[in-house]
Amino acid sequence: MRNITIEHYQRPVTDQKIEIVERKGTGHPDQICDSIMDKVSVALCKEYLKKCGRIMHHNVDKGLLSSGSVKVQFGGGKVEEPMLFIFGDRATYECDGETIPVDEIAINTAKEWLHENIRFLDPEHVRYQVELKPGSAELTDIFNRQDNGVLGANDTSAGVGYAPLTPTERVALETEKFINSKKFKEEFPEAGEDVKVMAMRQNNDLLVTIALAFVDRFVKDEADYFRKKSEITERVMEFVKENHGNDFSSADVNINTLDVKGRGIHGVYLTVTGTSLEDADSGQVGRGNRTNGIIAFNRPSTMEAAAGKNPVSHVGKIYNVLAHKIANKVVENVDDVGEVYIWLLSQIGNPIDQPAIAAAQVALKDGVSLSSVEKDVFHEVDDELANIDKFTMKLARGEIPIS
């Protein structure tokens, strides 16, 4: 019998006066780190299964991106000094007599991701430094101890998830995806991939502030920059109103509020590559979006960096992703639950399908008693934990997004 507890939660986020939500886009340096390191984990899992028949110990969740130097110019600048990507933490380099080319996998995966996702950043403009080392004997040995196909947790850690997303959370998430969509880039090629959306709801009024890196080759001069920024702002405003106009009393969108007319290249947000990584900002694993794609300041979260952690025993990844999945299932399948939080706590060494505790906090619809939903909520939590082996393999194959 799993230790599952259910309690009543009183005040949904939508009833609070202030709500703040952030979404970091594809080309944000922190998000680049998260995305690449998780792809490295997926690539390692594939190689381990191929050569070892099982996923071996690895946690590649300590990545760092250091900025380089560029010369930005209206009409197109150039990269002068390369960026630096450092891969850190632990991986298995040998199993059953087979050598695993960890360094090569890490570097090739990074180059492939950059090529596919950042249009104007040449992967050769990045230097790559692999600082991955073999893991400790005791943690590595966890991968040799299986109980009915389930490994023991390799950390004592907690995960938390919630559902449903509020309108403010959806605005932040969907607006970034819209700006970084293929269709938007075709209409506005000057819009880089480095996008950060900050959505604030005060009472029922929405303010969206967006940092958007412009690509200098598509901008002729200062006047052209401000004209194109105005067009993009108008288009994003249309998107917000079309998709969320009924959710708020008013909505306003601002882009690149640091800009100042009359200062030329110094008063506008221009980049050579479409990301501030080139010379203005660095990136680090764990500073990107949470596992449901946003950073919601009104919600509980953990300090864990899910990206790059192994998907079969590290609960810092498994429980944080799974908690959101369970929360969504509860809201979808239990009619009288308006909002739910799921908490999962591991105990190192114990099977991951047997958390020290799994807790559900539910906000119920008017007139509904906790006793009337307890059984159904319990079932959703228990069912997902019972099938955690299938869930972890989906993570290992990269079928479940982690940010």
pTM: 0.94
pLDDT band per the 50, 70, 90 thresholds, residue 197: very high
CA 265 – CA 239 distance, rounded (Å): 29
User: 270-271 and 205-215 as β-strands: parallel, antiparallel, unpaired?
Assistant: parallel
- DSSP letters along 3-36, please? -EEEEE----GGGSSEEEEEEE-TTSHHHHHHHH
**pLDDT at 138 (0 to 100):** 58
Residue 147 has pLDDT above 80, yes or no: no
CA 96 – CA 109 distance, rounded (Å): 24
Residues 6+ apart with CB under 8 A from 158: 302, 319, 343, 344, 345, 346
Segment 168-184 mean pLDDT: 98
CA 378 – CA 360 distance, rounded (Å): 8
Tokens linked to 101: 């080319």
Residue 306 has pLDDT above 70, yes or no: yes
Number of residues in the chain: 403
Looking at 218-272, which runs of residues are DSSP E strands? 250-255, 270-271
Domain 14-25+165-284 top-level CATH class: alpha beta
Grouping H, G, I as helix, E, B as strand and the rest as coil, residue 134 is coil
**Residue 310, exposed/middle/buried by CB under 10 A (0-12, 13-18, 19+)?**
buried
Tell me if the bond preceding 123 is cis, omega within 30° of 0. no
Tokens linked to 330: 């509860």
Domain coordinates in residue numbering, the chain: 14-25+165-284
**pLDDT at 57 (0 to 100):** 93
At residue 151, φ and ψ (nearest 5 deg) are: -85, 165
Residue with tokens 């997926």: 42
In the chain, how long is the greatest CA-to-CA distance? 69
Grouping H, G, I as helix, E, B as strand and the rest as coil, residue 163 is strand
CA 285 – CA 274 distance, rounded (Å): 20
Q: What is the pLDDT of residues 332-376, one digit of tens each?
A: 999 999 999 999 999 999 999 999 999 999 999 888 999 999 999
Tokens linked to 40: 């490295």
